[in-house]
Amino acid sequence: MKRLVSGVKPTGEVHLGNYVGAMRRFVTLAGQYESFVFLADYHALTTVRDAALLKKQTRELAAAYLAVGLDPKKTVLFRQSDVPEHAELAWILNCVTPMPTLQRAHAFKDAAAKKKEINVGIFDYPVLMAADILMYRAVVVPVGKDQVQHVEIAREIAKRFHTEFGAEVFTLPEPLIEKGTETVPGIDGQKMSKSYGNVIPLFASAEETKKRVMRITTDSRAPAEPKDKKDTLYALHKVFSSAAAMKKVDAAYDNGGLGYKELKELLADEINAQLSDIRARYDDLIADPKKLDKVLADGGECARAEAQKMMKTVREAVGLQ
């Protein structure tokens, strides 16, 4: 079976963009690929400065993966930092990565444009990500659109390594994007993101979900008027609403007849109905840290064995004894 690798950073509340753009797909793709899915805690260290918080968010993300239906018997689920070989491979890849490749990465350019303080970890982020992917010979990397450039950089680094060392040790990965959910908008219309404060959390209560949904930005059209299908509310309905609800929504957008208030209430109901089982499972999982630790320990052992095999080949190829 071909391999799949993907990860999410434990940097805050998991939101609906992470769920549909990434996590939900890891579950559906698990039957088609041999999957390695991890908690990117080394990557989280580029921004998190609180040890207790990082641990808490890592545990919450592990519970989230299981709650959305990831089966640790089918998918190797692990913490990145349980496989320190990722950091070793990143160092070796650093040595073949041209500075300009990282200087043109969107995430770095955005941070630089906003005059944010940038540590070396942030600058080097794509190289660690390349190590995560190349380590397991991934053929596909399911991610949202914002991560596509990072997967392309991983390909570029692999090719460069092959040319410079004359050894084809890596597999060239492809990003796997899902049409329609590649960029889920947040309640303000920008990409839903932890960093923009515009999220609908995956594990909020039904009431909290409704509150956030009611804050979705809309224009001032009256209930009787037709509405613009390019707006955020419609985009979110497209992602979350059932066929039956979509019929009503389409009718209201085409011909008028429902106000934004009703359309938002309908969206909140649809999201809450779709997520109620996942949310109940999450509550059980988070109450059982021993189970989470066991799953991650088993996954870590399996991933590490694979990583050690790859590192033997890489060390051989570059001349480390």
Site residues, ligand TRP (CB under 6 A):
5-9, 40, 43, 129, 132-133, 141, 143, 147, 150
Question: Which is nearer to ligand ADP, 143 or 275 (by Cβ)?
Answer: 143
Rounded to whole angstroms, how far apart are CA atoms 52 and 46? 16
Sheet of 34-39: strands edge to edge?
A: 75-79, 34-39, 3-8, 140-142, 174-176
Rounded to whole angstroms, how far apart are CA atoms 233 and 238? 9
Question: Which is nearer to ligand ADP, 115 or 179 (by Cβ)?
Answer: 179
Does the footprint of ligand ADP cover residue 271 (CB under 6 A)? no
Coil, helix or strand for 176? strand
Which partner in ligand TRP, ligand ADP, none is near 155 (CB below 5 to 8 A by kind)?
none
Question: Which is nearer to ligand ADP, 194 or 264 (by Cβ)?
Answer: 194
Does the footprint of ligand ADP cover residue 264 (CB under 6 A)? no
Give, as one character, the DSSP assignment of residue 33.
Answer: S
Taking the complex as a whole, the smallest distance from the CB of residue 262 to ligand TRP amounts, in Å, to 35
Does the footprint of ligand ADP cover residue 194 (CB under 6 A)? yes
The H or E element containing residue 303 is helix 289-318
Residue range at the interface with ligand ADP (CB under 6 A); choices 98-106, 121-129, 191-199, 211-219:
191-199
Tokens linked to 84 = 């320190």
C-alpha count within 13 angstroms, C-beta hemisphere, residue 309: 9
Coil, helix or strand for 201? strand
Among 3, 4, 18, 161, binds ligand ADP (CB under 6 A): 18
Q: Identify the residue whose tokens are 């932890």.
A: 194
CB 81 within 8 A of CB 300: no
Rounded to whole angstroms, how far apart are CA atoms 122 and 129? 11
Tokens linked to 126 = 């794509």
Does the footprint of ligand ADP cover residue 22 (CB under 6 A)? yes
Taking the complex as a whole, the smallest distance from the CB of residue 318 to ligand ADP amounts, in Å, to 30
Residue range at the interface with ligand ADP (CB under 6 A); choices 15-23, 221-229, 265-273, 305-313:
15-23
Size of the site for ligand ADP (CB under 6 A): 19
> Which residue sits closest to ligand ADP, CB atoms considered?
21
Does the footprint of ligand ADP cover residue 151 (CB under 6 A)? no
Does the footprint of ligand ADP cover residue 8 (CB under 6 A)? yes
Rounded to whole angstroms, how far apart are CA atoms 321 and 319? 6
Q: Return residues touching ligand ADP (CB under 6 A).
A: 8-9, 17-18, 21-22, 143-144, 146-147, 181-184, 191-195
